[in-house]
Amino acid sequence: MEHEKLSIMNDQHETIGVATRSDVHAQGLWHETFHFWLLKREHGTVYLYFQLRSPAKKDFPSLFDITAAGHLLAVEQPSDGLREIEEELGLSIPFKDLTYTGIIQDEIHLPPFIDREFCHVYLYVNQGEPMNVQLQKEEVAGLYRTRFIDAQQLLTGLCERIQVEGFEMNAAGEQREESREVDVHDFVPHEPAYYQHLFHAINQFLKQ
């Protein structure tokens, strides 16, 4: 995985070459990713879903993150990011059913790497149809949701703690329902500007 070839870009989103994934992170080079956010309408309430990263992950183990996401290889288009939804969640969603919200720049600075991403961000609203979620245990330990308004308040600094509910997989591959109280430190530290852009896009989408 560290030897995957990614397109590298300048800060104006212009392609300037190709580098391995390990070099991209070690040198803090701009690259492209696919971000998928799952929402659900239920009895008049909109919920936002977060994956719980596997405790075996090298980066940010056991933290909540984007519903499904991944790097786009040098030879790929944003539509190729559908594989992340299928691999991580076991869901098959036609690309035409996703709503594109544009590109959000996101930077995470942590030793020993700098992650600079042009994130192609997509939304999908489940209107109540059954979801047969099958998690990729090497990558994802659980799937949780919270009211969209609660996620928005927590991740923009308007409240300190929220309640999330969902399930985790045990060693036997069985789902165990969970509910817990979390704070911002339980989430991968995306930039505040990332969430501001995301929540604005979701609010605009929900008004349609």
Structure tokens of 84?
């992340």
What pLDDT does 122 receive?
A: 98
Burial class (CB in 10 A: 0-12, 13-18, 19+), 89: buried
Domain assignments of the chain as residue spans, ordered by start: 5-206
CA distance 54 to 179: 17
CA distance 78 to 155: 26
The tens digit of pLDDT for each residue in 58-68 reads: 899 999 999 99
Burial class (CB in 10 A: 0-12, 13-18, 19+), 160: exposed
CA-atom Rg of the chain in angstroms: 17
What pLDDT does 111 receive?
A: 82
Residue range 5-206, CATH number: 3.90.79.10
The tens digit of pLDDT for each residue in 129-143 reads: 888 999 999 999 999
Q: Give 58 or 102, the one with higher predicted confidence.
A: 102
Q: Is the pLDDT of residue 36 over 70?
A: yes
A 10 A CB-CB count for 68 gives: 29
Mean pLDDT of all residues belonging to the chain = 95
Q: Is the pLDDT of residue 2 over 80?
A: no
Q: What is the largest CA-CA distance in the chain?
A: 49
Q: Is the pLDDT of residue 109 over 70?
A: yes
